[in-house]
Structure 1
Amino acid sequence: MDLNILLAVAAIHAVVLVIPGPDVLLVSQTALARTRRAALLAGLGVVLGIACWAALALLGIGLLFQAFPWIHGVVKVAGGAYLLWMGVNLWRSSARPDAQAAPIQAPLSDLAALRAGFLTNISNPKAAVFFGSVFSGVLGAHAGTGLKLAAFLVIVGLSVGWFALVAAGMSTAPMQRAYLRARRAVDRVAGTLMLGFGGLLLASRE
């Protein structure tokens, strides 16, 4: 039944969403250090990236990566370099003499927040491989257009709900006060994780 297939897609995607990664880290750190609006826009940028990868997977980008591995390689290197850059920036921010006592960081423009979220997600070509495997393994090769569209909407809808929840939950006043008390340590941990994600992406063979 189509409903069972969509529930399977939803369950798989929900598990992947809640696993901490660069996307969740970016939205959480933005919510703590900036504003709820900036975090929501960063989350929206992530969702746009997810939507792009899911749509490309439906269009067969996985086959393109197989036929032209260098395209996958270029995207992977660019993505890894971007995550490394973000990690270095977080470390540099934490190293400033006023990092511990400084208030919440200066507001991030709407476009900058949206761009950060989009680039963080779109920088990982593994998302295309994941969605490709989900669509081929769960939907099957002969799924109709309606079922594919419904699966796409399920993925986007779950993503919107999850990142809105992360942005709202991490931008509360108690969470931001706790962040201010340990800002230097939090930024260094976040920077280290971003460096790790970038390094793993560059080192991966897939």
Structure 2
Amino acid sequence: MEPALVAAFVVAAFLLSVAPGPDMLFIVANAAAGGRRAGLVSAVGMSTGLAVHTVAAALGLSALIAAAPEALVVVRAVGAVFLVYLAVTSWRDSTSGHEATPARKRSLRRLYAMATLTNLANPKVVLFYLAFLPQFLSHGPHAWPVPAQLLALGAVFIVVGLSVDGTVGVTAGSLADKVLGRRAVRRRLQRASSMVFGGLAVRLALDTR
């Protein structure tokens, strides 16, 4: 792989990672409701989803989806339904009379799975791998095989993305940790998280690009 292309990809990956998007909003919402551990676990889950997308792209599954655009409609629908479920769950938690913090008590394993599935159900990530990664592939007799280059670029993107998302999650969670002990504030944060999830669901359902 050409060093200049790799360097350009690192810069592009960083700029894409720091731009607020659905994944970052998901991480912030969970961190606000459950603290920095929840934020960090959400970031790791998102990166796991990216790893799956990377392997799929290397195996040619993204090309298969490109040949069958209707598959993205199914992915979009699944993602929207899942986000609606998260919105309803967060709102119900905020209206429960229990003293324990539902988001904090929620299994970190479950939160990790939720974040991974949210990323996997985002058709924009599939389109990203279809349109963005190929621009940084090297060609020529000494170039790595395309699958190896896709895996390498995907790994770089995951490292950069996890660094940014992890920092955002821990920062948002640290701020939330200071106020989660107050039941009224916790309830507001959970309702705010519910609205974020609901808004992401609407955006995903209506975005047909």
TM-score with structure 2 setting the length: 0.81
Whichever residue aligns with residue 20 of structure 1, its letter is P
Check if 1:177 corresponds to 2:175: no
Unaligned runs of 5+ in 2: none
Whichever residue aligns with residue 150 of structure 2, its letter is K
Are the counterparts in 1 of residues 80 and 202 from structure 2 also a CA contact under 8 Å? yes
Report % sequence identity: 25
Whichever residue aligns with residue 194 of structure 1, its letter is F
1:127 CA drift (Å): 0.2
1:97 CA drift (Å): 5.6
Once structures 1 and 2 are overlaid, which stretch shifts more, 19-28 or 154-163? 19-28
Change (3 A) 1:19 1:89: farther
1:121 CA drift (Å): 0.8
Change (3 A) 1:149 1:65: closer
Are the counterparts in 2 of residues 83 and 194 from structure 1 also a CA contact under 8 Å? yes
1:154 CA drift (Å): 0.8
Are the counterparts in 2 of residues 38 and 108 from structure 1 also a CA contact under 8 Å? no
- Which position in structure 1 is the counterpart of 2:17? 17
C-alpha separation between the residues in 1 aligned to 2:179 and 2:34? 14
Change (3 A) 1:141 1:121: farther
RMSD: 2.6
- Which position in structure 1 is the counterpart of 2:136? 138
What number of residue pairs does the alignment pair up? Answer: 202
1:84 CA drift (Å): 1.5
Alignment of 1:44-193 (within 5 A): 44-96=44-96, 102=99, 104-105=101-102, 106-139=104-137, 144-145=144-145, 146-172=148-174, 174-178=175-179, 180=182, 182-193=185-196
1:199 CA drift (Å): 1.4
1:197 CA drift (Å): 1.4
1:141 CA drift (Å): 6.8
- Which position in structure 1 is the counterpart of 2:205? 202
Change (3 A) 1:88 1:20: farther
Whichever residue aligns with residue 122 of structure 1, its letter is L
